[in-house]
Structure 1
Amino acid sequence: MPSDLLFILYFKATVGKCIAPKPGMFGMVGKYKWNAWNDLGNMSQDKAQKQYIQLIDSLAGTEPQSSTHSQSRADNKYQTLLVTNTLGVFSITLNRPAKKNALNIQETYTFMYEELIAALKEASEDKSVVIATLTGAGDYFCSGNYLSNFMNIDPKNIEVMPVKAGYLLERFVSAFIDFPKPLIALINGPAVGGSVTVLGLFDAVYASDRATFRTPFSQLGLTPECCSLYVFLRLMRPAKANEMLLFNKKISAAEAFNRNLVTSVTPDDVFAKETRAKIDAISKLPRESMCYSKVLIRNAEKATLHSVNKEECRVLIGCWQSQEFMNAIMSFFSSKTAKL
C-alpha cells in the first residue's frame, strides 16, 4: 500500500476533483502524486472520505468487540475504566490495554475523557473516599491521545471538532485541578503526551522502574497541555522542562524522579505490592485533615492553574485547526503505512 494514498484520499475528500496543473516532466514525485489524484476520476468526495477513514482505522486498529468485552462493558458503570472503592481507596484503572490505554474522544464511543471526569466527580462526592489513585491496565500507563481521533472526522467539520475537543480538554484538566482529596498516580509502564503533563496536578506519583515519559507535542505540531507550561517549569529547571515540552525528550523513571516529576521509583517486580502498601497506609490517615490540607495547598495556586489551562486549550484549538498539525498527523500515519 503506497504511503501517499493517505494524502491522495485526503485531497479527494476535502478538495474533490484534481484541479492542480500537471507537474513538469522532471518533477517525478509531484507527477506521481498528481496522477494518483487524477486517477480517482469521478469518485465522490463522500466515497473518498469513507476510504480515507477506513485506511486510518486499518492503520490505528479497531477496538476489540468480543462478546466477553461487550458483556463486561454492559455490566460496568464505566466502559473504558475499571473503578473500585475499597476501604476508602477509590481506584481508577485505564482499561484499554489493547490500545495501550490511549485516551479516546470518538463520538461513536463513550469518551474516556468524560468517564475520567465522571469518576473524579464520584470520588470527590463520596464521603467514604479518603484518597483516589489512577493507573493503567496491561503494560502501559497511557499512550496519550488516540491519534485517529483527529483523523476520523468529517472534513466539513474540521473547524468544529477542535473547538469541542478544546472545551472537553479544559473540563478534563479542571477536574484534576479542583479534585479536593489526595490523588496519586501509579505509573506501571510508559506514559505519553497528556498522561505525562497531567502528572504535575497529582499529589504523589509512584513509578515502576520500567516506566518512561515522553511528550511529543512539537513533533505533532502541537503545544503542551494540562498546565505543564506552568507546573513543569516550577518542578524542573527551565532547560530540563524545555527538553521535554519543546524537544520531545523521552526520559526514564529515574530521570523523572531527578526532575521532581515522580515521587519515588520502585523495581517493577515489586511495584504492585509496594505501592499497595503505601496506599493502604495513606488511606488510614485522618480523612478530614488530609482533605483540608489538600484544599489549602491547592487554593494557593488554583486561580493560576485555571488561567493556564484556559490559555493552553485556546492555543491548542488553533493548532488542531492548522495545516501544520494535519501534515504532521498524516506524516505519522504515512510512516506507518510505509512499514506495512
Structure 2
Amino acid sequence: MTTEDVLRSADADGVRTLTLNRPQAYNSLTVELKERLLGALRGAAEDADVRAVVLTGSGKAFCAGQDLKEHVGMLQSGDPAPLRTVSDHYNPIVRAIVDMPKPVIAAVNGPAAGAGAAFAYAADLRIAASSANFMMAFANVGLGPDSGASWTLQRLIGYGRAAELMLLARTVDSTEALRIGLVSEVVTDEELPTRAHALAARLAAGPTVAYAKIKGTLTTAAESTLEEALAAEEAAQAALGATADHTEAVEAFVAKRKPDFSGK
C-alpha cells in the first residue's frame, strides 16, 4: 500500500474528513500511518478553511490500535523506534486532537481498541455505528494505557467504569457505550458517514472561534480549582465579546434572522 493510501483526506462544507485506510489490518497503526495522521491533524488545525474535523476508519474497523506485527518486527531487529512511539506519535496525536481549535468528531465505524479507542475518547463528540465496540486491550499485552486514555476515559464515564474496562480489557458494544455516555449517538452502519458529516457541517457553520474557547475552558476546568475555572471563563468571555461572530449573533438576534458566522 502506498503512502497516499494509508490516510485519506477529503474536504466538504468546511469539514475535513480523515479516514484511516488500512482496512486489511483493521486500520492498525504503523509508523507511517501515525506520522501521516499527526501531520494531517496539525494541518487541519492551521487551515482556516477547515472548521470541523471528522476522524473515521475504512472497512469494518475504526482502528485496532498499534500494529503489533510491525512493532514486534522492529523490536526483534533491534530498532529502538517502537520504544519511542508514545512520545513521538501517540502523545502528539492526542494533543493535536484535544487542542484542535475546532470541533473533532470521531465517527466510530467498527471496533476501536487500544490507541485507536483512545483517539476516539480524545475527540469532542463520538458517534458510533451499531457494529462499533470499544476495548482497552493494554492489559492483555502486559502494558498500561497510553494515548491519553487514562485522562480521557474516566472523564467520560467515571473512574470506576474506566478502571473496570482497563483492568479486565472488557469489550463495550455500541448499546452499552451509549448507555454509559461513552458515545452520544448510535446509528446504523450505513447511516454513520452521512450523520457524522451532517453534524460536523452543522458545527462548521457555527461560531468556531467560540468553540475553541469552549474546548479550552472545559479542559482547564477538568484539572483546576473553581477559582481557576472562573478566571479561564472570564478571560474567554472577554476575548469572545470582541469577536465578529459575537457581534453577528447579537445583530441577528435583534433582527430575528439566522446568524452568518465567519469564525472570526
SS in 2 for 1:122: helix
Question: Scaled by the length of structure 2, what TM-score is found?
Answer: 0.77
Q: 1:272 to 1:166 in 2, by over 3 A?
A: closer
Deviation at residue 272 of structure 1 after TM alignment: 2.7
- Give 4+ residue runs of structure 1 displaced > 4 Å after superposition: none
Deviation at residue 301 of structure 1 after TM alignment: 4.4
Q: Which residue of 2 aligns with 1:274?
A: 195
Q: Which residue of 2 aligns with 1:96?
A: 22
Instruction: State how far apart, in whole Å, the 1-side matches of 2:220 and 2:158 are.
Output: 24
8 A Cα contact 2:9 2:16, kept in partner: yes
Are 2:50 and 1:124 equivalent residues in the alignment? Answer: no
Instruction: State how far apart, in whole Å, the 2-side matches of 1:86 and 1:218 are.
Output: 40
Q: Which residue of 2 aligns with 1:164?
A: 84
SS in 1 for 2:81: helix
8 A Cα contact 1:181 1:295, kept in partner: no
Deviation at residue 151 of structure 1 after TM alignment: 1.4
Deviation at residue 259 of structure 1 after TM alignment: 2.1
Give 1 or 2 for the bigger CA radius of gyration: 1
Q: Which residue of 2 aligns with 1:3?
A: none
SS in 2 for 1:85: strand
Q: Which runs of 5+ in 1 are unaligned?
A: 1-64, 106-110, 304-340
Instruction: State how far apart, in whole Å, the 1-side matches of 2:68 and 2:77 are.
Output: 19
8 A Cα contact 2:54 2:197, kept in partner: no
Deviation at residue 283 of structure 1 after TM alignment: 1.9
Instruction: State how far apart, in whole Å, the 1-side matches of 2:195 and 2:97 are.
Output: 25
Instruction: State how far apart, in whole Å, the 1-side matches of 2:64 and 2:84 are.
Output: 22
Q: Which residue of 2 aligns with 1:34?
A: none
SS in 1 for 2:186: strand
Matched residues, number: 223
Deviation at residue 167 of structure 1 after TM alignment: 1.9
Q: 1:249 to 1:130 in 2, by over 3 A?
A: same
SS in 1 for 2:191: helix
Are 2:171 and 1:245 equivalent residues in the alignment? Answer: no
SS in 2 for 1:290: helix
Q: Which residue of 2 aligns with 1:198?
A: 119
SS in 2 for 1:153: helix
1:283 to 195, 199, 204: 204
Equivalent pairs: percent with the same residue? 28
Q: Which moved further from structure 2: 274-283 or 125-134?
A: 274-283
8 A Cα contact 1:177 1:302, kept in partner: no
Q: Which moved further from structure 2: 193-202 or 218-227?
A: 193-202
Instruction: State how far apart, in whole Å, the 2-side matches of 1:257 and 1:81 are.
Output: 28
Which structure 2 residues correspond to residues 123-272 of structure 1 after superposition, within 5 A? 123-153=44-74, 155=76, 157=78, 160-168=80-88, 169-272=90-193
AA aligned opposite 2:184: T
8 A Cα contact 2:20 2:56, kept in partner: yes
SS in 2 for 1:151: helix
8 A Cα contact 1:89 1:129, kept in partner: yes
Deviation at residue 178 of structure 1 after TM alignment: 2.1
8 A Cα contact 2:60 2:110, kept in partner: yes
Instruction: State how far apart, in whole Å, the 2-side matches of 1:244 and 1:154 are.
Output: 28
8 A Cα contact 1:94 1:101, kept in partner: yes
Q: Which runs of 5+ in 2 are unaligned?
A: 225-264
Instruction: State how far apart, in whole Å, the 2-side matches of 1:114 and 1:281 are.
Output: 29
Instruction: State how far apart, in whole Å, the 1-side matches of 2:126 and 2:75 are.
Output: 39
Instruction: State how far apart, in whole Å, the 1-side matches of 2:85 and 2:77 are.
Output: 16
Are 2:10 and 1:114 equivalent residues in the alignment? Answer: no
Question: Scaled by the length of structure 1, what TM-score is found?
Answer: 0.61
Q: 1:155 to 1:99 in 2, by over 3 A?
A: closer
Deviation at residue 155 of structure 1 after TM alignment: 3.8
